[in-house]
Amino acid sequence: MASPAAPPSHRRSLRRRRTALLSVGAVAAAGLGAVPFVMNANAGAVELARQTLPAKDGWAASGSGTTGGSKASTARVYTVSTRAQLVKALGAATNSAPKIIKVKGKINANTNAAGKALTCADYSSGTGYSLAAYLKAPSGSQEKARAAAQAKQKKNIVFTVPANTTIVGVPGTKAGITGGSLQVKNVDNVIIRNLSLTNTRDCFPAWDPDDGDTGNWNSEYDSVTLRGATHVWVDHNTFSDGPNYDSAAKTYFGRKYQRHDGALDITNGSDLVTVERNRFTNHDKTMLIGSSDTDSVGKLRVSIHHNVWKGISQRAPLARIGQIHLYNNYYDTTTVNGYAHSYSINSRAKAQVIAERNYWKVPAGQKIAKLLSGDGTGAIAGTGNLVNGKATNLVTAYNTANSKKLKTTANWKPTLTARLQPSAANLPTSLASTTGAGVLS
């Protein structure tokens, strides 16, 4: 079962505790970019599990900031290494008392309470569903059976995260969750750090004949999904489909049998989110901001910085409505494991994106105009972006080649920019060793 962890030995009274941050300039000079080292002026480094989002570090620092479970009592600090322990530690979604959950090693979400691995056949057992029968008649009784089987899997692999929670991987244990989906829904103040989040897949995709011109397969489950969530910090995680890549998917009804949805989706009026120093790789529809063109106006404020995007087909991100700040990210658009690049940033539904000082590595022959996308209503502003080391106006390149123009000015100005580096030139090198799971200690 989940075990309470011992209290950190360095804790001092709140009156005496002071926090100091290494300056961005000093860290950059060391070739590390802007790694969030948090120091206690009296007692050295603050324990990883109790670290909070630094001041002015993107939208999640707005207002009350993001502290997660940092104030958790000793009795509400858990170390978990199985699915059953994780479920118990999370507890009721309505229990908002601060808690810290330390993930030790790899947790397989597709297991039962006893730890036995579950397959898609286990979830479909007793429902009457079979793919062969569904392909013959993807409606009626088989659609009901598919939905029933999907509901069984959902109950097992979706983990609901309460307010005021920190979930963090234990350093040195290759911590992560495979096949699972962390859902942060209608709650405030959550931190997710240092986790490898892989192979989140739907056993039972649905066929929608009205999706697009020729129909499409639609799957459920993002590795992390934010719905109506506020003050969320997603930091130093690795997102990947591996080892079940889309290239191995079969084709039915002329479309790829897609079992993956998003990696990190931010929708349904989510707001005040900072996404930093993650690695996104081996994925198609990676990050969606805004569930539809009518999602919540005045919300969806997201900062995305110092992330690595490699082997990503699209949605890095796809942004609707909100105010999104993209800075100091590294995009490598080389095809990896069959994931060919379609576009990086899509601004639509009047989204106000500021993309500055990012670096794109683009193979020879790839058109710069393909790095962006839009519907003619979204904006992408910002300067200092580099393509293969050369200063490039991405919006001009896109607008020259497309009839639906991106707007070039945004209606807001970022102020929460404590980690903004003045140049993108060193990002391919500095982010290689300072992003993703397993870096923090």
Q: Which amino acid is at 78?
A: Y
Instruction: Check residue 333 and give left, alpha or beta (phi > 0: left; psi -120 to 50: alpha).
Output: alpha
Contact indicator for 111, 83 with CB cutoff of 8 Å: yes
SS (H, E, C) 162-202: CCCEEEEECCCCCCEEECCEEEEECCEEEEEECCEEECCCC
**H-helix or E-strand spanning residue 28:** helix 24-29
Query: Active-site residue 315, yes or no?
Result: yes
Give the bridge partners for 381, in sequence order: 354
Name the active-site residue from 76, 146, 259, 315: 315
Beta bridge partners of 20: 39
Q: Is 65 left (phi over 0), alpha (psi -120 to 50) or beta?
A: left
DSSP-derived 3-state class of residue 124: helix
Q: What is the DSSP letter of 8?
A: P
CA angle 418, 175, 230 (to 5 degrees): 45
Q: Is 391 helix (H, G, I), strand (E, B) or coil?
A: strand
Residues forming the active site: 315
